Structure 1
Amino acid sequence: MVNMKYHYLVSFLTLAKCILAQFCPDYSNFSQQPHEPYSSGIHKLSYQRPIPACRTFNSSAMESLLTSMQSNITDPDLYRLFQNTYPNTLDTAIKWRGHAANNTAEELTFIITGDINAMWLRDSANQLQSYLPLLKAEKDWNGMDGLGSLYRGVINLQARYILTSPYCNSFQPPKESGIPPATNDAAANDVVEPPYDQAKVFECKYELDSLASFLQISSDYYEATGDGAFFGRFQWASAIQAIMNVARAMQTPTYGDDGMVLQSPYMFTRQTTRATETFTNDGLGNPVVNGTGLIRSGFRPSDDATIFQLFVPSNMMFVSYLSACAAIMKELGASASESLASEMEALAGDVKSGIEQYGVVALAPTPDHSHSEAGTIYAYEIDGFGSVNIMDDANIPSLLSAPLLGYLDRSEEVYQRTRKRILDYHTVSGNPYFMRGPVINAVGGPHAGPGMAWPMASIVRIMTSDDDGEILQSLRELVGSTDGLGLMHESVNTFDAGKWTRQWFSWANGLFGQMILDLADRKPGILRESFQ
C-alpha cells in the first residue's frame, strides 16, 4: 500500500510539474532581460533565478549554502553574482532525468550546456564539478533525489554516448527522454570518418578533452563518495576500454616509416567560411610525427580545430584523470580490470613523458625585450616536427588551468613562466589571444575572435593565483562586465560591456560559484572587500 501511495504521489507531482512547465519562461529569453529585485550595489545586477517551481532541480543544500554565504560576501553585487551563477545548472540545465529502458536501476541524466539543447561530454562534466562541495557534504549520496543521482546519471549516459560514437563530442537526448533530437544545420553536411548517426549525435568533433571529461567526472564522483561498486554495475568499464582504443589509435602519425601516408582513424570536413570549423588537407589535418607519445586532438575545448594536433592542455588533462581512473578500475577486482588498469597507468606515463620532453619549449627573446630571460614554457600545440604554437585559449583545459587539472602544482617554475607569457600585456610578445581594455582583461580565443575576452579565463586566473592584487582586479572586472544581467557570458568586448556572446552559459556560471567557494577557503578576506 505504501508503495502504491508513493507511486501515485510521484505520478501526481510529475503531472503537476508538466502542467506548470507550460507557464515557466524560456530561460534563453528570461536570461536576456533584467528582473527585480536588483542588487543594492552600483551595478544594480538583475536577479536571474527562476521561481522554485520552474527550476530543473531543487536542492535544499544549495539554498542553505547560498544563505550562509551572504554573511561571508560583503559586496552586494558580488553576492548577487554568486547567487545567480552558482545554482545555474541546477536551476536551468537539468533537462531530463530517468532510467535506461533496458535496466530500471541505471540512472540517466541529460544536461544541456545552456542555450544549446544538446549534451556536451566536456560541459556536463564541468557543470557538475562545480557541485563537488555539496556532493561531499551530502549525507545520502546514494539516494535517488540527490546530487549523487545526478552524477551517476551523467556518468551512465556519457558511457552510453562514448560506446555509441567515441570520436564525437556532443550528443542528442536519450530516446527514453522523449525529447526530439536538436537540429544542427552547421553539421548537416559534415563528412566524418568514422560516420555517426545524427539522431544520436549533435556534433562529431573529436576532442581528446571530451574523453578526458568522462574520466574527470568519474574521478570526481569516486573522490566525493568512495562508491567504487557503482563503476562495476553498468557500462563504465566498457567505456573506459573504448577511450583507451581511441587514445591508442590517435597516437597514429601522418606518415609511416616508409613515407607512406597512413590511414587516419578520424577525419573531418565541413563546408564553412570559418577556418577553425574544418580540417586542412581534405579532413586529415596538419601532419604529425611519430614517437612523441602524445595523443592527437582534432579540436580544442572551444570546438575550434587545432592547428597542430598534438594539443598539450588536453594531454595534460588526460594524464591526470586517466591515472585517477586507473585506481577505480583496480577496485573492480577482476583480472581483466586489473590488466586494463595497468594499461591505463602505462599510457598515462607515456603521455606525461611526451609532454615533458616535447611539449616544453625554450623561451624566445621578444623584439621589445619584454621576455629575454632564460627558461622554458609549455607550448599550446606542437606537431613533433618542430612546429610550435605559443598561445593559450580561454576554454578549459588550457595551459593556464593546468594546476586545476591536477597535472602540476601552481608553484612549479615552468608553469609560472608559462603563466606569465599567457597573461602578457605587451603588444609584440606573449599570448596573441590575451585581450585588453577598460572593461575586462583576460584570455580570449579565435572562437569569439579578437577583442572578446572570456570571463571563464578570468575565473581560472583567480583560481590559479595567490596574489591578492591580481585576484581583486580580476574580480572587479567580472563584477562590472555582465551588462547588468548578473550572469557570466561566454565572452565580453573589452571596450564595451554591452557587447557579449551567449546569455546562458551554465558552465561558466557554475565555475564562477566554484571560484567564490575556493576563495572562501583560501582567501576569505577577499570576499569582505568592496567593489563599489
Structure 2
Amino acid sequence: MLSISWASALLFAALPVASSTPPSSGSGCPNYGSYSMARNEPLSSGAYRLAYQRPSPECRTFNSSGVEDAIKRMRDEIYDPDLFRLFENTFPNTLDTAVKWRGFAANNSDEELAFIITGDINAMWIRDSANQIAPYKTVLKKKTDDIASIFRGVINLQARYLIISPYCNAFHPPPESGMRPTINGALYSVTPPYDKKIVFTCNFELDDFGGFLQLSHDYYTRTGDLDFFGKFQWINAVQSILKTSRDMQKPTYAEDGSWNAPSYTFQSQTMTSSGTLANNGIGNPVNYTGMVQSPFRPSDDSALYNFQIPANMMLSRYLASTAEIMNKLPNKGAAGLAQEMRDMAAEIRDAISRWGIVRGPAGDRIFAYEVDGFGGVNLMDDANVPSLLSAPLLGYLGLDDPVYRNTRRFVLGRTNPWWCAGPVISAVGSPHVRPGAAWPMSAIVRALTSDADAEIATAVREVLASTDGLGLIHESVDSFDASRWTRQWFTWANGLFGQLILDLAERKPHFLKESFQPFLIPKS
C-alpha cells in the first residue's frame, strides 16, 4: 500500500466547500480523487459540518441494495448527525469508488472476476482488496445477494494472481478488462522474476495469504456456498499458498551450517531503508522456528526481522478455518490438502507460542511484533492490520487472553515506539509515514477489540474529530493538528469504520444514541 508524502499532504490543509461538480473523470462523473478533497454539500448539521462524499448513484462503481438498506436503517438508529454522516460516507466507499471492473474469465464464462483498486492507486492489492470487501459480510446473507458476486469475483481474481505470482502483492487489471495498466516506474530486482504486465509491485507480504483465506472464510460462513470453492481456481491457489509458505519457512542456514539459497529476494532503488531488503535483497538471517517469513510488513515496509507475529497469527487462524471448507469438497486430493492446512496452522501456532512470546518492558509476557529465531526481537506494533492489537479481531485469540492483555497495554502506551499521543487523536502509527502521525485505523481496531464503554467512546470521538471536515478516514493524522494528514481516499480504513458502527449496533446499541459532539446536543 503506497501513500502520498507527508509534505504533499500539507497542501490539503485548506479545503474549499464545493457545491458545484468537481473535475470530471471523462465519463461525465467526477474524478473521485478530486471530489474527495472538497467539502461537498450538503454538510452535516453537527459541529464538525462534515462533507458529503458519495458520488451520485449513476457514478458509483457498484450499487448494492443490501448496503443501501443498511445505511437507511442506521439513519434511524444513529443520533449524532456527524457520526451518521461519517458512516454514510465510509461504509459504502469501496463500492462507490473502487470496483474498477467486473466481468468473467476469458476461458470460463461462469468464473466471475472483480478488480478492486485501493483508492487513489490504480492497482489491486491482495491484502487491501480483501480488507476492502470484508466489511460487507455484514449484509451478505446468501449466494444470490448482489454483494455475493463481488466476493466471488475478488476471490477468483486473487486466486489467479496467487497462482501466477505468489510472492507478489499488487497487480494490474486482468486482460479481460481491456484496461491499460498503470506504469510503475520503480526499479526492482526480484527473485523469482515476475511479469511486469501482470504485477504492479512484488513485495512478499504474508498477510496476503491470510487476507485471501479470510475472505474465503467470510464468504462461506455467510452463504454456505460450498460448490463455489470447487469450481474454479481456489484449490490451486491454496496449493500455491502452502508451497510458498513451506519455502518461506526455510532458515538461512542448513543443519550442516551451509547457506540455504533464499526462495525470495528483493532489491530496489529507494530513498528509504524500508523500501528494500538488507543483505543484497535477502533480508536479515533467520533461524528455523516453524513460522513463515514475511520480508515485508502489511504497510509494505520491509521487516526488521522476517518472522512477523501478527501475519503468522492471521495465516494460522485462517488456514485452520478454511481447512474445513477444503475438507468438505469432493475434489480429488482435497482431503489431503485440508490435513496439510491444519498441520501448518498448528505448526505456526506452536511456533508463535515458543518464539513470539517474550518479556516486555514491564517484565510481563507479551507478543513481539517480529523475531528472527536467533534471539532478535522487535517490540512495537504497527497500525496496519494484521497487528498485535487486532489479534482478537482476526479470531486468533480472545480478548481475555492474558498475554494479549499484557500486549495491549504495551501497544497502547509510550513503551510502544509507534504510539502517537496528542490532543487530536491518540493511536498507533506506522514507520510507513513518520513519528507523531497516528492512524485512525488503529483507533477503530481499538474500539473493535474493546468491551469497555469509555475506551470505545474515546476512540469513536477521536476518529470523528480527525477527518478535517472531509468526512472520510485518513491514512494518518498528526496527533496535534487535524489539518495535517495523508490520503483523503483510503477505502480500507473507510470500510473498517463502517464495520465498527455496525458492530456497535449489534454489540452496544446504546452508543448510537449518544452524542459525540465537542459539546452536548439536547436530545429531542
Shorter-chain TM-score: which interval? over 0.9
User: What amino acid is the match of 1:142?
Assistant: T
Shift of 1:20: 10
Task: Please state whether the residue corresponding to 1:268 is helix, strand or coil.
Answer: strand
User: What amino acid is the match of 2:387?
Assistant: S
Shift of 1:65: 1.3
1:454 alignment partner in structure 2: 439
Distance 1:457 1:20 in 2: 32
Distance 2:65 2:267 in 1: 47
2:300 to 300, 303, 306: 303
Pair 1:94-2:92 in alignment? no
Pair 1:217-2:215 in alignment? yes
2:290 to 290, 293, 308: 293
Distance 2:492 2:327 in 1: 31
Pair 1:82-2:87 in alignment? yes
Distance 1:311 1:457 in 2: 18
Distance 1:26 1:352 in 2: 45
- 1:83-122 equivalent positions in 2, closer than 5 A: 83-122=88-127
Shift of 1:142: 3.1
Distance 1:22 1:383 in 2: 51
Is the 2:380–2:418 Cα contact (8 Å) retained in structure 1?
A: yes
1:272 to 270, 273, 277: 270
User: What amino acid is the match of 1:322?
Assistant: L
Q: Percent identity?
A: 55
Pair 1:182-2:195 in alignment? no
- 1:30-429 equivalent positions in 2, closer than 5 A: 30-136=35-141, 138=142, 141-142=143-144, 146-186=146-186, 189-290=187-288, 292-364=289-361, 371=362, 374-424=363-413, 426=414
Task: Please state whether the residue corresponding to 1:399 is helix, strand or coil.
Answer: coil
Shift of 1:21: 6.6
Is the 1:20–1:54 Cα contact (8 Å) retained in structure 2?
A: no
Distance 1:86 1:334 in 2: 37
Task: Please state whether the residue corresponding to 1:108 is helix, strand or coil.
Answer: strand
- What is the CA deviation profile of residues 437-488 of structure 1, one whole-angstrom value per residue up to 9, with x for unaligned ones? 1111000010011011000000000000111111111111111110100000
1:478 to 456, 463, 467: 463
Distance 2:42 2:28 in 1: 21
Task: Please state whether the residue corresponding to 2:77 is helix, strand or coil.
Answer: coil
User: What amino acid is the match of 1:387?
Assistant: G
Pair 1:512-2:497 in alignment? yes
Distance 1:524 1:106 in 2: 40
User: What amino acid is the match of 1:172?
Assistant: H
Task: Please state whether the residue corresponding to 1:484 is helix, strand or coil.
Answer: coil
Task: Please state whether the residue corresponding to 1:481 is helix, strand or coil.
Answer: coil
Task: Please state whether the residue corresponding to 1:338 is helix, strand or coil.
Answer: helix
TM-score w.r.t. length of structure 2: 0.93
Task: Please state whether the residue corresponding to 1:287 is helix, strand or coil.
Answer: coil
Distance 1:21 1:236 in 2: 37
Distance 1:214 1:476 in 2: 32
Distance 1:403 1:64 in 2: 29
Is the 2:66–2:147 Cα contact (8 Å) retained in structure 1?
A: no
Distance 1:452 1:20, change over 3 A: closer
Is the 1:20–1:53 Cα contact (8 Å) retained in structure 2?
A: no
User: What amino acid is the match of 1:321?
Assistant: Y
Shift of 1:334: 3.6
Distance 1:117 1:478 in 2: 27
- What is the CA deviation profile of residues 156-193 of structure 1, one whole-angstrom value per residue up to 9, with x for unaligned ones? 1011101110100000000000110112223xx20000
User: What amino acid is the match of 1:131?
Assistant: Y
Shift of 1:147: 0.8
Is the 2:130–2:212 Cα contact (8 Å) retained in structure 1?
A: yes
Task: Please state whether the residue corresponding to 2:130 is helix, strand or coil.
Answer: helix
Distance 1:131 1:21 in 2: 29
Shift of 1:335: 4.7
Q: CA RMSD in A?
A: 1.2
Task: Please state whether the residue corresponding to 1:301 is helix, strand or coil.
Answer: coil
Distance 1:224 1:21 in 2: 38
Distance 1:476 1:260 in 2: 55
Is the 2:230–2:331 Cα contact (8 Å) retained in structure 1?
A: no
Runs (4 or more) in structure 1 with deviation over 2 Å come to: none
Task: Please state whether the residue corresponding to 1:440 is helix, strand or coil.
Answer: coil
User: What amino acid is the match of 1:402?
Assistant: A
Distance 1:87 1:299 in 2: 29
Shift of 1:375: 2.8
1:368 alignment partner in structure 2: none
- What is the CA deviation profile of residues 51-91 of structure 1, one whole-angstrom value per residue up to 9, with x for unaligned ones? 00000011122222111111211111111000000000010
Distance 2:295 2:364 in 1: 29
Distance 2:204 2:25 in 1: 39
Shift of 1:258: 2.1
Is the 1:39–1:80 Cα contact (8 Å) retained in structure 2?
A: yes
1:24 to 29, 53, 56: 29
1:10 alignment partner in structure 2: none
Unaligned runs of 5+ in 1: 1-18, 365-370
Distance 2:119 2:207 in 1: 20
User: What amino acid is the match of 1:69?
Assistant: M
1:500 alignment partner in structure 2: 485
1:7 alignment partner in structure 2: none
For these two proteins, the number of residue pairs brought into alignment is: 494
User: What amino acid is the match of 1:303?
Assistant: D
Is the 1:21–1:54 Cα contact (8 Å) retained in structure 2?
A: no
